[in-house]
């Protein structure tokens, strides 16, 4: 389950962990993003490991709903290990990695996330919610951002409804000693 996560990930801007499902098995994958000022008239979008259209959709939602200025930035995304992720639950991790890189705020290496993002910025439920959380916690990840359910989550796991909530949590880390 940890094959696609590098050891000693550390707290690095633009890097986070997603819990995806391959078949019936939860797998943890690293998601890396790099947001940098573009020197070109048309900024570059380079994607490895997820569908380019899905990535474009996530960037559009980030820019429109969070006013995250990406229109003049080159944005690179990588899922290391050669895996191609088709699970829409990777959306939240992609957004987190991009936000983290754009704001230059490192996320804790203990953080995992999953959730599908809708066009209105809502974080949507995905299948195998509990199994994903159980796997991440069992493998030593102690903090999670997941779609909000009606019941309490495990300790350290926060349910979120919208991308705005996620953005505010990441910005909170910049101004406080707390971790995310």
Non-local CB neighbours of 76 within 8 Å, separated by 6+ positions: 33, 34, 35, 36, 44, 45, 46, 47
Domain-located, residue 58: yes
Domain-located, residue 8: no
Residue 9: what pLDDT?
57
Domain-located, residue 160: yes
Domain-located, residue 68: yes
Per the confidence metrics, is the pTM higher than 0.95? Answer: no
CA separation for the pair 13, 158 (Å, rounded): 20
Domain that holds residue 151: 15-175
Domain-located, residue 132: yes
Domain-located, residue 164: yes
CATH code at 166?
A: 3.30.230.10
What is the domain count for the chain?
Answer: 1
Domain-located, residue 6: no
Could you read off the pLDDT tens digit of each residue along the chain, which spans 180 residues? 555 555 555 678 999 999 999 999 999 999 999 999 999 999 999 999 999 999 999 999 999 999 999 999 999 999 999 999 999 999 999 999 999 999 999 999 999 999 999 999 999 999 999 999 999 999 999 999 999 986 667 788 999 999 999 999 998 866 555 555
Residue 149: what pLDDT?
84
Domain-located, residue 4: no
CA separation for the pair 70, 40 (Å, rounded): 13
Residue 86: what pLDDT?
97
């Amino acid at each position: 389950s940890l094959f696609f996560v590098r050891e000693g990930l550390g707290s690095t801007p633009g890097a986070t962990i997603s819990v995806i499902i391959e078949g019936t098995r939860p797998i943890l994958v690293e998601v890396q993003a790099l947001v940098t000022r573009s020197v070109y008239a048309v900024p570059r979008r380079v994607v490895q490991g997820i569908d380019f259209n899905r990535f474009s959709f996530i960037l559009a939602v980030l820019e429109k709903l969070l006013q995250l200025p990406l229109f003049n930035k080159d944005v690179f995304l990588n899922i290391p290990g050669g895996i191609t992720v088709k699970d829409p639950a990777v959306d939240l991790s992609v957004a987190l990695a991009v936000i983290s890189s754009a704001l230059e705020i490192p996320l804790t290496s203990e953080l995992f996330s999953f959730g599908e993002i809708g066009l209105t910025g809502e974080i949507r439920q995905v299948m195998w919610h509990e199994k994903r959380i159980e796997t991440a916690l069992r493998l030593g990840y102690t903090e999670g951002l997941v779609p909000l359910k009606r019941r309490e989550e495990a300790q350290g796991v926060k349910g979120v409804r919208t991308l705005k909530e996620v953005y505010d949590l990441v910005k909170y880390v910049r101004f406080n000693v707390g971790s995310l």
